[in-house]
Homo-oligomer: A and B are copies of this chain.
Amino acid sequence: MTTTATKPRGEYAKTAKRRDDIVTAALSVFSTAGFVSASMSEIAKRAGLTLPGLRHHFASKFDLLQEVLFRRDLDANKHLEGREGIDLLRGLVEIASRDQGDSLTQMFAMLAAEATDIEHPAHDYFQGRYDLIVGTVQRALTEAAAEGTLREGHDPDRLARAYVALSDGLQLQALYRPAAFSQAELIKEFLEEFLTVPL
């Protein structure tokens, strides 16, 4: 059993490694060219593959985009799952720390901007993604209100939108002036302004 299983396992590992390389190449291309202008040939080249070789792993550019976004969201979820209220807000600040100086930030800024176009293949994905993120922050703030840690007179929905906006906008500024400020600290300060306890 062990010997027969060895070969497939090796194959899986090889495939996983190949997929990782492709995702890395795709990230680099999406970051500068955006999604619409990115070419599968360029991604194949950077991953050291032929175009048919790339298509064997990802049939379309959109499949590849989904994989990139999926991996990113999976990582974010690690900081959020099973947490609520103030503790969930702490998870959000952890994500802000992770995002700081992250090479994916530029890609996300590009994709989020170009996908505002209703015809963009990732438009629905990004619309849904914003609803989900705003919804998560809103839930955290509503729970904080129930715990008594949200200062009175603040609307969780409006505050959640402001939080997500602040986070996106700081990422953009950090791409122009990386050394000027700490995103995570500013986000923490902003949230604490509306809370009765420190984060």
Contacts and interface: CB of A to CB of B under 8 A. Distances in A.
Contact of A166 (B112, B162, B181): B162
A116 B109 contact: yes
Contacts of A134: 173
Interface in A76-133: 106, 109-110, 112-114, 116-117, 119, 126-127, 130-131
Contact of A110 (B114, B162, B173): B114
26 contacts: A32-B119, A33-B36, A34-B114, A110-B114, A113-B113, A113-B114, A113-B172, A116-B172, A116-B176, A130-B176, A131-B177, A134-B173, A158-B181, A161-B181, A161-B186, A162-B166, A162-B186, A162-B190, A164-B169, A164-B173, A165-B165, A165-B166, A165-B169, A165-B170, A165-B172, A193-B193
